[in-house]
Amino acid sequence: MRRTSWLLISGWWATFGLLHFFSLLEFLPFEDIAARRSLAWGLSGFVVSLPLPVLAPRAKSPKGIAGLLLLGVLLAVLWGVLGWILQEIADPFLSSYTSYLFLAPSQEAKLDSPLAFPGIMLALVGVLMLIETRRRLQEQLRSLAEVERQAQRAQLEALRYQLNPHFLFNALNSIGALAAEDPERARRVVTQLADFLRYSLVPGGAEGAAWVTLEAEVAAISAYLEIELVRFESDLVVSYDIAADTADERVPAFLLLPLVDNAIKYGQRTSPTPLHVALKAWKGPDGLRIEVANTGHWVETADVPGTRKGLANVEQRLSAEYPGRYSLRTRSEGGWVRVALSLRDETG
C-alpha cells in the first residue's frame, strides 16, 4: 500500500503540474514563468500531502474517515499558503505583477484558485481511501482463502484418521488369518501395510496438503489394494496402465484413494464376480489424465447413502489445488463405471 500510495501522489502532482502549466499558457506568454509557477504549486501540493499515505491506512472507522477528510481540508489550506510562498520565492517581482489574475474571473488560473484547493486535495484523499479499501478487501479474501485451505487440510487429516481404524481392522484380520496358513504372505502383507501407513504420515505443507509424485501415489494405492486382495482373494482383479512419462507428475497425496475405495465399495454391489478395478494414467495435450474404473453400473445417491461423498471430497480438494484447471467426470457404459480426472498444467 505504501509504495502504491507514494507512486500515486507523485503521479498526481506531476499531472497537476503539467495541467497547471498548460492552463497558464492560455493567458501568460512567458513559458519559463509559467513553468516556475506550476513547479511551485505542484511541489507544494506534493509536500503537504506526504502524511496521507501514512494516515490513510489508519482511517478504518467512520470517525477515522471523517478525520481524514477534515485533514484533507486543512492540508488544502496549508497547500494554498505554501504554494503562494514558493511562488513568491520563485519569481517575486513577476509573481506580484501577475497577481491580478486572481481578481479577474475571465483570466483566473483555475487550478491555483483558492476554490480549487479543497476539491483537488479531497479528490486525492478519496483515491487513497479507495486504494486502501481495495487492499483491505484483498487481504480479507486472502485470509478467507487461507481459512478454507486450513479447513480442507484439517478435513483431510480427519479423513485419514477415520479411514485408518476401519482399514487397520480389516488388514489385521487378514494378517491374522494368513499367519497360520501362509506365513510368508503374511510377512509381505505386513510390509505393505507398513508402507501404506508410512505414506499416510506424509505431512502437509504450509500451502495445503502434501504433494507427491504420481509414482508414489500409485505405489501407496498398490499397497492398499494388495492388502484388500487378501480379503477378496479371487473376487477382486486389479490392473494398472500408468504411462512412464507420468511418474514424476506431482499430485496431492491421497487424491486417488477415495476413488479407488469407492470403486471397490460400490463396485462389489453391482459387478459380477470377479470385480475388476482398473487404474490408468497418461499425459494429455495440456496436462495429466487419470481414470479409475470398475465393473458394474452407477449407483445413485438415493440407493446407497454416501455414494458421492468420496467424489465430493475429491472435487473439493481439486477446486483448492487446481482452481479452474481441472475436470471430474463420471460415466457408466459397457458394464463399467469410469471416473475421469483431467488436471491441466498452469500454462495449459
Residue 307 per-residue DSSP state: T
The answer as to whether 64 is a domain residue is: yes
What is the rounded CA–CA span in Å between residue 120 and residue 114? 11
Cell of 9: 501522489
pLDDT digits (tens, 9 = 90+) for 109-130: 455 566 677 888 888 888 888 8
The answer as to whether 39 is a domain residue is: yes
Q: What is the pLDDT of residue 302?
A: 45
| pLDDT for residue 157 is more than 80 | no
Q: What is the pLDDT of residue 101?
A: 43
Query: Where residue 314 sits, what CATH number does that domain have?
Result: 3.30.565.10
Q: What is the pLDDT of residue 99?
A: 47
Residue that has been written with the C-alpha cell 497425496 in this structure: 253
| pLDDT for residue 199 is more than 60 | yes
Q: What is the pLDDT of residue 342?
A: 93
What is the rounded CA–CA span in Å between residue 331 and residue 316? 19
Q: Which residue has the higher pLDDT, 161 or 152?
A: 152
Last residue of a domain, one of 122, 141, 160: 141
The answer as to whether 199 is a domain residue is: no
Average pLDDT over residues 52-64: 82
Q: Band the pLDDT of 23: cuts 50, 70, 90.
A: confident
Q: What is the pLDDT of residue 28?
A: 65
Q: What is the pLDDT of residue 239?
A: 93
The answer as to whether 267 is a domain residue is: yes
3 state SS of 211: strand
Q: Which residue has the higher pLDDT, 347 or 144?
A: 144
Q: What is the pLDDT of residue 91?
A: 66
3 state SS of 98: helix
Say what percent of the chain tops pLDDT 70. 80
| pLDDT for residue 281 is more than 60 | yes
Phi, psi of 273 (to 5 degrees): -85, 135
Q: What is the pLDDT of residue 276?
A: 93
Degrees, nearest 5: CA angle 208-213-216: 110
Average pLDDT over residues 214-242: 88
Q: What is the pLDDT of residue 141?
A: 85
Q: Are residues 135 and 237 in the same domain?
A: no
Q: What is the pLDDT of residue 283?
A: 93
The answer as to whether 117 is a domain residue is: yes
Average pLDDT over residues 302-314: 62
The DSSP bridge partners found for residue 280 are 241, 291
Number of domains in the chain: 2
Report H helices in the chain: 2-24, 31-48, 52-55, 62-90, 92-97, 116-181, 183-200, 214-232, 257-270, 309-321
Lowest-pLDDT range of 38-47, 81-90, 284-293, 307-316? 307-316
What is the rounded CA–CA span in Å between residue 201 and residue 178? 26
Model confidence, pTM? 0.55
Of the candidates 299, 323, 295, 303, the one whose C-alpha atom is nearest the C-alpha of residue 311 is: 299
Provide the residue count of the chain: 348
The answer as to whether 183 is a domain residue is: no
Q: Are residues 10 and 131 in the same domain?
A: yes
Please state, rounded to an integer, the average pLDDT across all residues of the chain: 79
Q: What is the pLDDT of residue 193?
A: 84
Cell of 336: 463399467
Residue 108 per-residue DSSP state: -
Q: Are residues 17 and 137 in the same domain?
A: yes
| pLDDT for residue 244 is more than 90 | yes
Q: Which residue has the higher pLDDT, 339 or 83?
A: 339
The answer as to whether 215 is a domain residue is: no
Q: Are 206 and 154 in contact (CB under 8 A)?
A: no
Residue 284 per-residue DSSP state: -
Last residue of a domain, one of 94, 121, 141: 141
In whole angstroms, what separates CA 18 from the centre of its chain? Answer: 40
Q: Which residue has the higher pLDDT, 162 or 298?
A: 298
The answer as to whether 180 is a domain residue is: no
Last residue of a domain, one of 141, 165, 194: 141
Question: Helices 116-181 and 31-48, interaxial angle, to 10°?
Answer: 50
Structural domain of residue 22, as residue ranges? 2-141
Q: Are residues 137 and 17 in the same domain?
A: yes
